Amino acid sequence: MTEREKIFTRIRDALKTQAPMPGHHGSSHKPHAISEARNAIAGARQWLPDPGADSAAWLEQFQKLSAELKTVVHLCNDEADVHSKLRELALAEGWRKVAAHRHPLISPAATAIALPALETDGGYDANEMAKCDVGITACDALVAQTGSIFLTTRSAGGRALSVLPPHHVVIAHRDQLVPDLPAAFELMTRLYGENQWPSMSTLITGPSRTGDIERILVLGAHGPRKLTVFLI
């Protein structure tokens, strides 16, 4: 018998005895029906924090949480507006090299900055990317409920581009903002479906952070110290 078969045999033997439903231990809570539990997540939306009723409220919530998380959000009128703001940022922070990926929103922006640029498509040298001052990416969705950015290897130029350079810039359209996590996961399933999944999807909530030393918040533990979102 292989180790795999041994483990599965032990699991099946163990599961011959049923465990009591949760919520029976001295609690007065009446358990849901089992079939309801299986579909519980569709209903779980109603227990999560309230993201607001309409897109204006979602935007407000996204901005509020971003401020708490130290994500900088710029509302922009159009792409030209994004480009001029990006040029200001490049000047202010003294960028010398940028990293980006091929994308209808990102490529023109990288060109507009007029600095040497590394493109991740088709592979790159990690040592070169480590020298870049900024990684500029698109994303799949923005989540109002948690102030998060949902992106994948496919939508954002690979695994490292959004985490290795010290500053991560995201350019997105306002209609990419979804109210809550259940909506974000539904959207991802719709976009990538079964067996179309990119090898990595990630929910980014603020710049990289740690509280490991005396529980004091420090930004930029390993990933980006800064996270900036341009919302068109």
- Which residue type occupies 231? L
Binding mask 171-210 for other proteins (x = CB under 8 A): ---------xxx-xxx-xx----xx-xxxxxxxxxxxxxx
DSSP-derived secondary structure letter, 173: -
Q: How does 143-179 read in b/e, with b if 16+ C-beta sit within 10 Å?
A: bbbbbbbbbbbbbbbbebbbebbbbbbbbbeeebbbb
Candidates 91, 160, 86, 92; CA nearest to 128 is: 160
Give whichever of 85 and 159 is closer to other proteins, judged by the CB atom.
Answer: 159
Distance CA 167, CA 134 (A): 5
Report in angstroms how near the CB of residue 94 gets to other proteins at its nearest: 18
Which of 92, 126, 175, 190 contacts other proteins by CB under 8 A? 126
Which of 1, 29, 54, 78 contacts other proteins by CB under 8 A? 29
Candidates 228, 210, 227, 232; CA nearest to 219 is: 210
Query: Which of the residues 35 through 54 are near other proteins (CB under 8 A)?
Result: 37-38, 40-50
Which of 83, 103, 154, 226 contacts other proteins by CB under 8 A? 154
Q: If binding is defined by CB under 8 A, does position 66 make contact with other proteins? A: no
Q: If binding is defined by CB under 8 A, does position 60 make contact with other proteins? A: no
Q: If binding is defined by CB under 8 A, does position 116 make contact with other proteins? A: no
Which of 73, 110, 157, 229 contacts other proteins by CB under 8 A? 157
Q: Phi, psi (5° rounding) for residue 230?
A: -100, 120
Q: If binding is defined by CB under 8 A, does position 124 make contact with other proteins? A: yes
Report in angstroms how near the CB of residue 114 gets to other proteins at its nearest: 23
Report in angstroms how near the CB of residue 137 gets to other proteins at its nearest: 12
Q: If binding is defined by CB under 8 A, does position 19 make contact with other proteins? A: yes
Q: If binding is defined by CB under 8 A, does position 1 make contact with other proteins? A: no
Which of 110, 164, 171, 231 contacts other proteins by CB under 8 A? 164
Q: Phi, psi (5° rounding) for residue 29?
A: -65, 135
Query: Which of the residues 70 through 109 are near other proteins (CB under 8 A)?
Result: 101
User: What does the CA dihedral 76, 89, 104, 225 come to, rounded to 10 degrees?
Assistant: -100
Residues in the chain: 232
